[in-house]
Amino acid sequence: MILPIWLVALPASITFLTRIPLGRTVYPDSAWRLITIWFPLVGLLLGFVLVFFWVLIEDLSLWSRAIIVVAIGILLTGGFHEDGLADSADALGGAYNRTDVLKILKDSRIGTFGSLALICVVLLKISLIVDLADHAPVGIILSHSLSRCIPVIQLGIQPYARRDLMESKSRDIAHSGIFQVIVSLLWYLIILSFGVFLGKVGLFEAVIITLALIITASIFGVYIQRRVGGHTGDFLGAIQQLSEVTILTIICLF
């Protein structure tokens, strides 16, 4: 049975975003170009897996549970987005021109800015999950799923910053078309609407989450546009992490 290419893109998306073993399947380039339509669903699946562990260790303290859940999340993704955050912080914090920013982004070593960014974001996520307490499952699921919609939208509205696109490991997804952006927006609306429908998130809270994400993504997008002229894979990882923290923060506040 030959599956449609958009469906083949689902396991390819899981392979791209996580360390979950799905065999040694070689996916065609056409599937890789569509993997972004599944990013929110992969985030949703990750969220449910993490909530499973959250419930499984309910006898532990809130701090212990939060630390373990965040650690499992990093293990499941291989720190994929966290790596982008660290590289982005090093590049944007340690360089003064476009050439140096892009050069530092390619450096696999982590510097002071990257270390500080990772420490702050990981500690903030742990602390926010603790603050959520009984509402932690909602925060975990929404933050992991909705935050993965944002990089796809960013792909669609910003150009790729590097000129050597063919040398990029992510060249097949370096540009996201209107189709991917629309699908990502639909995922966002469906997931958030279900949260409202099930009474897990208030309508006003959902609006605030959306506005906060728009502001966060816009500020970061304008900043990197001015610094380097567009997005890179590392910047997309950074915006996912910032979006995740933003969602958790808004849910905590309301």
Q: For residue 125, what pLDDT is reported?
A: 98
> In the structure, what pLDDT confidence band is assigned to residue 172 with cuts at 50, 70 and 90?
low
Please tell me the distance from the alpha carbon of residue 124 to that of residue 25, in angstroms, as a whole number.
37
- From the number of C-beta atoms within 10 Å of its C-beta (0-12, 13-18, 19+), residue 168 rates as middle
Range with the poorest average pLDDT among 21-35, 84-98, 138-152: 21-35
pLDDT at 217 over 90: yes
Residue 176 has pLDDT above 70, yes or no: no
Q: 135-156, pLDDT tens digit by residue? A: 999 999 999 999 999 999 998 8
Contact 76, 132 (CB under 8 A): no
pTM of the model: 0.93
Band of the pLDDT at 197, cuts 50, 70, 90?
Answer: confident
In contact, 221 and 236? CB cutoff 8 Å = no
Angle CA 36–38–41, to nearest 5:
140
| Lowest-pLDDT range of 30-44, 88-102, 167-181, 234-248 | 167-181
| Number of residues that this document lists for the chain | 254
Q: Which sequence spans correspond to the domains of the chain?
A: 5-253
| Share of residues in the chain with pLDDT > 90 (%) | 68
pLDDT given at position 131: 96
CA 160 to chain centre: 18
pLDDT of residue 173: 65
